[in-house]
Amino acid sequence: MSLNLPSCPLGRPSQTMNHWIPTVTLEEMSRNEYDVIIVGSGAGGGAALWRLCEKMAAEGKRIGMLEAGDPLIPTHARNLPTMTSERFQQFLYSENHTSYTSKYSSNYPDAIEVNALGGRMLFWTQISPRMDVCDLKDWPVSLDEMNYYYGVAETAMNVTKSFFKGSPLTETVIQRLHNAGFSDSTYIPMATDLKGTGNGEIHSNVFFSSLSFLARALNWSFDLAVKAKVVKVYTENGRAQGLRVMDSEKNAYTLKAKNIVLAASTFETPRILLNSGIKGDAIGHYLANHSGVRATTLMPRDQFPETLGTLGVLIPHGENCPYLLAMLDPNTWHAPEQERPFNEDVTINIGGYGKVESRYENRISLDPTRVDEFGVPMLNIDFSYSDNDQLVISEMTDTIRQILKKVAGDDNPSVCIMPIGSDYHETGTCRMGDDPSTSATNRYGQIHGVEGLYVADNSVLPTVGRANPTLTTVAFAIRTADYIVESLKQGSKSNVGVGRGES
């Protein structure tokens, strides 16, 4: 008997893919001219990429992204079922993808760079508060506009206070804090997707990373090259022209781009600018971060209901916002497959983020004698706390002691100061402002005096503020992307305004 049916086509794709994300070679990229190239795929780079792709989808613009690292993992490390708290730390500090700024300078011992697709957002803790008005009021962007872009960023990153809400431990501690006079204490806003998988929709990336920005950008089109280390930007007559980029074999390529968005981090972005001879009094200066104080205490288990839940409380405190405190439970981050340990006492960690002043003398500069494997000068980092910074640390310590006494009955907690840099919140080395003598970029993130050259990472924050920086970096990156879209539409940078509330 012969079946008169056509043969079904094989389900094989015409092309295959070597990574979990499509990439192109630098050789291929060097044959094109790009409307925008983004350098770095962390928080700022990912956000700018997504927004540019979304807004320019219909216009057929060509967008590229260059990332020095490789595609290490396809999601935030905490979304991996094998990742216990201990393995998470071991993986974060692996020398295969993480380098330490201590290689540059001894007075900045503990900052890290994650050289991988997704940058440090593969490992961040997702704490995502807005900056306070007392910080924002001195910034060059209006409060209305900041509110608008914070809203866009929070939606894009799934920021929610519900992650800790309802947890008996959190509720008890918040109640005690309110009773003790810390009335602003609230649930930590977290960039976590809490929607359940269902109706054919998969929500497996609970913990947000910039890889979700890249995934959204893939709904449209962009070229991504990995293991692509940008060493220089080229400019001519006050306009961005392109980049010099090297692959892991140290082959060099020149890529052409009308607009360049540097999002390589607070240390690496000014390094590229300085290595390119870009002029600007503020480039590399005004390095700021958060000073840190930590304490741990134990509370008897019988003070809490049988179901304990976990702890995540934010305590904004003090006039003029000198610092922010956060209370966390070290067991929050157990992996789904891991059994949660039963402890007789409940461990509570409290930490403070102290605002560090923006001072010209806190800076990065190129080392005149040492270069890295790509021939780029190494960095020197000069950093110290001012008298005022020390005062903030001292006040923060007093408040932590006061809280642990009132909330946990601990009269003598052991308190320690965190090594400089271990907040991983460094900012300011390309800060935004109206005056080119005290800021590197204008209010849209464009380097003063160089059309088409932008910065969209933590380095543009005008001051460190007291809040964790990433939400603000994402908000600024989205705003800078909107500005680039408008400028490409208009073909000229003058009179371009973006967003809401722009005067």
Cβ(283)–Cβ(440) under 8 Å?
Answer: yes
Tell me how far, at minimum, the Cβ of 367 lies from ligand FAD, in Å: 16
If the CB atoms of residues 173 and 272 are measured against ligand FAD, the closer one turns out to be: 272
Tell me how far, at minimum, the Cβ of 119 lies from ligand FAD, in Å: 3
> According to CB under 6 A, which one of 91, 108, 124, 149 is a site residue for ligand FAD?
124
Question: What sign for the dihedral angle of Cα 149, 488, 433, 119?
Answer: positive
Q: Specify the 3-state DSSP secondary structure of 459.
A: helix
Tell me how far, at minimum, the Cβ of 135 lies from ligand FAD, in Å: 14
Tell me how far, at minimum, the Cβ of 278 lies from ligand FAD, in Å: 14
If the CB atoms of residues 77 and 403 are measured against ligand FAD, the closer one turns out to be: 77
CB within 8 Å of 277: residues ≥ 6 apart: none
The alpha-carbon radius of gyration of the chain (Å, integer) is 24
- What is the footprint of ligand FAD within residues 268-287 (CB under 6 A)? 268, 272
> According to CB under 6 A, which one of 34, 50, 424, 483 is a site residue for ligand FAD?
424
If the CB atoms of residues 255 and 393 are measured against ligand FAD, the closer one turns out to be: 255
Beta bridge partners of 70: 116
Cβ(220)–Cβ(35) under 8 Å?
Answer: no
Give one DSSP letter per residue of 468-487, joined into a string. Answer: -SHHHHHHHHHHHHHHHHHH
- What is the footprint of ligand FAD within residues 126-165 (CB under 6 A)? 126-127
Binding range to ligand FAD, per CB under 6 A, among 11-19, 63-71, 152-160, 173-181: 63-71
Consecutive H or E run containing 146: helix 143-156
Binding range to ligand FAD, per CB under 6 A, among 48-56, 123-131, 132-140, 337-345: 123-131
Binding range to ligand FAD, per CB under 6 A, among 50-58, 60-68, 303-311, 315-323: 60-68
Alpha carbon distance 427, 418 (integer Å): 18
Consecutive H or E run containing 54: helix 43-56
CB within 8 Å of 262: residues ≥ 6 apart: 39, 40, 230, 233, 269, 272, 273, 430, 453, 454, 455, 456, 457
Cβ(190)–Cβ(127) under 8 Å?
Answer: yes
- What is the footprint of ligand FAD within residues 209-268 (CB under 6 A)? 229-230, 263-265, 268
- What is the footprint of ligand FAD within residues 465-494 (CB under 6 A)? 468-470, 473
Binding flag, residue 69, ligand FAD (CB under 6 A): yes
Can you read off the two tokens belonging to residue 424?
Answer: 């991983």
Binding flag, residue 188, ligand FAD (CB under 6 A): no
CB atoms within 10 A of CB 224: 24
If the CB atoms of residues 168 and 377 are measured against ligand FAD, the closer one turns out to be: 377
- What is the footprint of ligand FAD within residues 74-93 (CB under 6 A)? 92
- What is the footprint of ligand FAD within residues 349-368 (CB under 6 A)? none
Cβ(350)–Cβ(326) under 8 Å?
Answer: yes
Question: Minimal CB distance to ligand FAD: which residue?
Answer: 42
Beta bridge partners of 309: none
Binding flag, residue 421, ligand FAD (CB under 6 A): no
Tell me how far, at minimum, the Cβ of 272 lies from ligand FAD, in Å: 6
> According to CB under 6 A, which one of 29, 36, 39, 464 is a site residue for ligand FAD?
39
Tell me how far, at minimum, the Cβ of 473 lies from ligand FAD, in Å: 6
Could you give the dihedral angle defined by the CA atoms of residues 482, 484, 485 and 487, in that order, rounded to the nearest 10 degrees?
120
Binding range to ligand FAD, per CB under 6 A, among 64-72, 364-372, 404-412, 483-491: 64-72
Which residue carries 């956000």 as its tokens?
A: 47
> According to CB under 6 A, which one of 458, 463, 480, 487 is a site residue for ligand FAD?
458
If the CB atoms of residues 172 and 275 are measured against ligand FAD, the closer one turns out to be: 275
If the CB atoms of residues 172 and 210 are measured against ligand FAD, the closer one turns out to be: 210
CB within 8 Å of 168: residues ≥ 6 apart: 304, 305, 307, 308, 309
> According to CB under 6 A, which one of 23, 44, 164, 408 is a site residue for ligand FAD?
44
- What is the footprint of ligand FAD within residues 102-121 (CB under 6 A)? 112-113, 115, 119-121
Tell me how far, at minimum, the Cβ of 274 lies from ligand FAD, in Å: 12
Tell me how far, at minimum, the Cβ of 168 lies from ligand FAD, in Å: 23
Binding range to ligand FAD, per CB under 6 A, among 42-50, 233-241, 405-413, 485-493: 42-50
Which residue carries 């094998």 as its tokens?
A: 82
Cβ(62)–Cβ(488) under 8 Å?
Answer: no
- Alpha helices, DSSP H, located in 157-306: 168-179, 210-217, 268-275
Beta bridge partners of 252: 246
Query: Among 276, 457, 266, which Cα is nearest to 362's?
Result: 266
- Alpha helices, DSSP H, located in 258-342: 268-275
Q: At what angle do helices 143-156 and 43-56 cross, to 10 degrees?
A: 90
Could you give the dihedral angle defined by the CA atoms of residues 297, 303, 307 and 312, in that order, rounded to the nearest 10 degrees?
-40
Q: Which residues bind ligand FAD (CB under 6 A)?
A: 39-45, 66-69, 92, 112-113, 115, 119-121, 123-127, 229-230, 263-265, 268, 272, 424-425, 457-458, 468-470, 473
